[in-house]
Amino acid sequence: MYRLALPLKIGENHLRDLMDWLEEISLRDGLQVRRILGDGSIGALESDPRLGRADRLKRIKEQIRRLRFPRLAQTEDSIRARIQELKLQPEIRLTVPAGLEGGRLRIEFDAASQDELQRLIAKLAEATGKEAVREIFAMLAGRTAEDK
Protein backbone atom coordinates (compact mmCIF):
# COMPACT_ATOMS: atom_id res chain seq x y z
CA MET A 1 0.00 0.00 0.00
CA TYR A 2 2.90 2.28 0.86
CA ARG A 3 4.39 1.60 -2.56
CA LEU A 4 1.11 2.73 -4.12
CA ALA A 5 0.32 5.65 -1.82
CA LEU A 6 3.65 7.44 -1.94
CA PRO A 7 3.99 8.28 -5.65
CA LEU A 8 0.27 9.01 -5.94
CA LYS A 9 0.30 11.37 -2.92
CA ILE A 10 -3.05 9.99 -1.83
CA GLY A 11 -5.07 12.30 0.44
CA GLU A 12 -6.53 11.13 3.74
CA ASN A 13 -10.09 10.44 2.50
CA HIS A 14 -9.00 8.50 -0.57
CA LEU A 15 -6.52 6.57 1.54
CA ARG A 16 -9.17 5.64 4.09
CA ASP A 17 -11.54 4.42 1.34
CA LEU A 18 -8.79 2.40 -0.30
CA MET A 19 -7.61 0.85 2.93
CA ASP A 20 -11.15 -0.08 3.98
CA TRP A 21 -11.89 -1.65 0.61
CA LEU A 22 -8.61 -3.55 0.50
CA GLU A 23 -9.10 -4.86 4.02
CA GLU A 24 -12.63 -5.97 3.17
CA ILE A 25 -11.57 -7.65 -0.07
CA SER A 26 -8.81 -9.37 1.87
CA LEU A 27 -11.27 -10.67 4.46
CA ARG A 28 -13.83 -11.72 1.86
CA ASP A 29 -11.44 -13.46 -0.54
CA GLY A 30 -8.83 -14.65 1.94
CA LEU A 31 -6.07 -12.80 0.07
CA GLN A 32 -3.26 -10.67 1.35
CA VAL A 33 -3.45 -6.99 0.38
CA ARG A 34 -0.15 -7.42 -1.48
CA ARG A 35 -1.77 -10.06 -3.68
CA ILE A 36 -4.78 -7.85 -4.38
CA LEU A 37 -2.59 -4.94 -5.39
CA GLY A 38 -0.58 -7.32 -7.53
CA ASP A 39 -3.67 -7.83 -9.69
CA GLY A 40 -2.59 -7.27 -13.29
CA SER A 41 -5.07 -4.50 -13.96
CA ILE A 42 -3.80 -2.37 -11.06
CA GLY A 43 -0.17 -2.97 -12.03
CA ALA A 44 -0.92 -1.87 -15.59
CA LEU A 45 -2.47 1.37 -14.37
CA GLU A 46 0.47 2.01 -12.04
CA SER A 47 2.94 1.83 -14.89
CA ASP A 48 0.85 3.38 -17.68
CA PRO A 49 3.00 6.30 -18.89
CA ARG A 50 0.00 8.08 -20.47
CA LEU A 51 -1.60 8.76 -17.10
CA GLY A 52 -0.89 11.77 -14.91
CA ARG A 53 -0.91 11.44 -11.12
CA ALA A 54 -4.55 12.49 -10.61
CA ASP A 55 -5.87 10.28 -13.43
CA ARG A 56 -3.77 7.37 -12.25
CA LEU A 57 -5.20 7.67 -8.73
CA LYS A 58 -8.74 7.96 -10.09
CA ARG A 59 -8.38 4.90 -12.31
CA ILE A 60 -6.66 2.80 -9.64
CA LYS A 61 -9.30 3.74 -7.08
CA GLU A 62 -12.04 2.81 -9.54
CA GLN A 63 -10.35 -0.51 -10.22
CA ILE A 64 -10.16 -1.30 -6.51
CA ARG A 65 -13.79 -0.21 -6.08
CA ARG A 66 -14.71 -2.67 -8.83
CA LEU A 67 -12.91 -5.45 -6.98
CA ARG A 68 -14.65 -4.48 -3.77
CA PHE A 69 -18.13 -4.15 -5.31
CA PRO A 70 -18.09 -6.59 -8.24
CA ARG A 71 -21.84 -7.06 -8.65
CA LEU A 72 -22.60 -3.37 -8.30
CA ALA A 73 -19.93 -2.60 -10.90
CA GLN A 74 -21.30 -5.28 -13.18
CA THR A 75 -24.85 -3.88 -12.91
CA GLU A 76 -23.53 -0.36 -13.56
CA ASP A 77 -21.65 -1.64 -16.63
CA SER A 78 -24.73 -3.43 -17.93
CA ILE A 79 -26.86 -0.30 -17.52
CA ARG A 80 -24.19 1.80 -19.24
CA ALA A 81 -24.09 -0.67 -22.11
CA ARG A 82 -27.88 -0.48 -22.53
CA ILE A 83 -27.70 3.32 -22.53
CA GLN A 84 -25.08 3.16 -25.28
CA GLU A 85 -27.29 0.82 -27.28
CA LEU A 86 -29.91 3.56 -27.42
CA LYS A 87 -27.51 5.68 -29.51
CA LEU A 88 -28.87 8.95 -28.18
CA GLN A 89 -27.32 12.26 -29.15
CA PRO A 90 -24.81 13.72 -26.70
CA GLU A 91 -27.37 16.42 -25.84
CA ILE A 92 -29.45 13.76 -24.06
CA ARG A 93 -27.79 12.29 -21.02
CA LEU A 94 -29.14 9.26 -19.17
CA THR A 95 -27.52 8.57 -15.83
CA VAL A 96 -28.21 6.47 -12.74
CA PRO A 97 -27.55 7.53 -9.16
CA ALA A 98 -24.34 6.65 -7.32
CA GLY A 99 -24.59 3.14 -5.97
CA LEU A 100 -27.89 2.80 -7.90
CA GLU A 101 -29.69 4.03 -4.79
CA GLY A 102 -33.18 5.35 -5.46
CA GLY A 103 -33.82 3.14 -8.48
CA ARG A 104 -34.41 6.05 -10.85
CA LEU A 105 -33.06 6.95 -14.24
CA ARG A 106 -32.08 10.58 -14.58
CA ILE A 107 -32.60 12.26 -17.94
CA GLU A 108 -30.98 15.59 -18.87
CA PHE A 109 -31.35 17.67 -22.05
CA ASP A 110 -29.41 20.49 -23.56
CA ALA A 111 -31.21 22.34 -26.33
CA ALA A 112 -30.44 25.64 -28.01
CA SER A 113 -33.79 26.04 -29.76
CA GLN A 114 -37.39 24.84 -29.76
CA ASP A 115 -36.72 22.80 -32.89
CA GLU A 116 -33.78 21.10 -31.30
CA LEU A 117 -35.75 20.38 -28.15
CA GLN A 118 -38.58 18.84 -30.17
CA ARG A 119 -36.12 16.74 -32.11
CA LEU A 120 -34.45 15.49 -28.93
CA ILE A 121 -37.76 14.69 -27.27
CA ALA A 122 -38.87 12.76 -30.35
CA LYS A 123 -35.62 10.83 -30.32
CA LEU A 124 -36.02 10.08 -26.63
CA ALA A 125 -39.67 9.06 -27.07
CA GLU A 126 -38.60 6.64 -29.75
CA ALA A 127 -35.92 5.22 -27.46
CA THR A 128 -38.31 4.63 -24.56
CA GLY A 129 -40.04 1.85 -26.47
CA LYS A 130 -36.83 -0.11 -26.91
CA GLU A 131 -35.99 -3.32 -25.08
CA ALA A 132 -32.84 -1.69 -23.66
CA VAL A 133 -34.93 0.79 -21.67
CA ARG A 134 -37.09 -1.99 -20.23
CA GLU A 135 -33.90 -3.81 -19.25
CA ILE A 136 -32.44 -0.72 -17.58
CA PHE A 137 -35.48 -0.37 -15.34
CA ALA A 138 -35.51 -4.10 -14.66
CA MET A 139 -31.89 -3.93 -13.50
CA LEU A 140 -32.57 -0.89 -11.32
CA ALA A 141 -35.44 -2.78 -9.73
CA GLY A 142 -33.34 -5.87 -9.05
CA ARG A 143 -35.48 -8.05 -11.28
CA THR A 144 -34.15 -11.50 -12.10
CA ALA A 145 -35.30 -14.24 -14.45
CA GLU A 146 -37.45 -15.64 -11.61
CA ASP A 147 -39.53 -12.46 -11.56
CA LYS A 148 -40.71 -12.88 -15.14
Partner 1 sequence: MKNFVPEEIVVERGSEGSLIYRNLRLALPQVPLRLVEDISTANGNGDFGAAKKTLLLARHKGEFLKKCPGSEGQVCCNYYVVNFASNCSMDCSYCYLQEYLAQNPALKVFSNVDDLMAEADNLLTKHPRFFFRIGTGEITDSLALDPYIGFAREVVPFFAQQPNVLLELKTKSDCVDGLLGLDPRERVVVSWSMNPQRVIDTDEHGTASLEERLRAARRCQEAGYRLGFHFDPMIEYPGWEDDYRRLVEEIFATVDWRRISWLSLGVLRQTPGLKRTMRERFPRTELLTGEQVPCPDGKLRYFQPLRVEMYRKMFRWIRRQAPTVKIYLCMESKEVWEQVFGYAPSCEKELGNQLTNFGF
Which of 3, 28, 35, 106 is the binder for partner 1 (CB under 8 A)? Answer: 28
The answer to whether residue 99 forms part of the interface with partner 1 (CB under 8 A) is: yes
d(CA 148, CA 144): 7
Among 12, 101, 115, 131, binds partner 1 (CB under 8 A): 101
Full 3-state SS string of 80-121: HHHHHHCCCCCCEEEECCHHHCCCCCEEEECCCCHHHHHHHH
- Using CB under 8 A, which of the segments 25-33, 35-43, 110-118, 125-133 binds partner 1? 25-33
Binding status of residue 72 toward partner 1 by CB under 8 A: yes
Q: How many residues bind partner 1 (CB under 8 A)?
A: 25
CB of 7 to partner 1, least distance (A): 28
Question: How far apart are the C-alpha atoms of 96 and 101, rounded to whole Å?
Answer: 8
The piece of 2-10, 19-27, 39-47, 105-113 that touches partner 1 (CB under 8 A) is 19-27
Q: Considering the rule CB under 8 A, would residue 146 count as an interface residue with partner 1? A: yes
- The answer for residues whose C-beta is within 8 angstroms of residue 93's C-beta and 6 or more apart is 107, 108, 109
Name the residues that contact partner 1, by CB under 8 A. Answer: 24-25, 27-28, 68-72, 75, 98-104, 139-144, 146-147
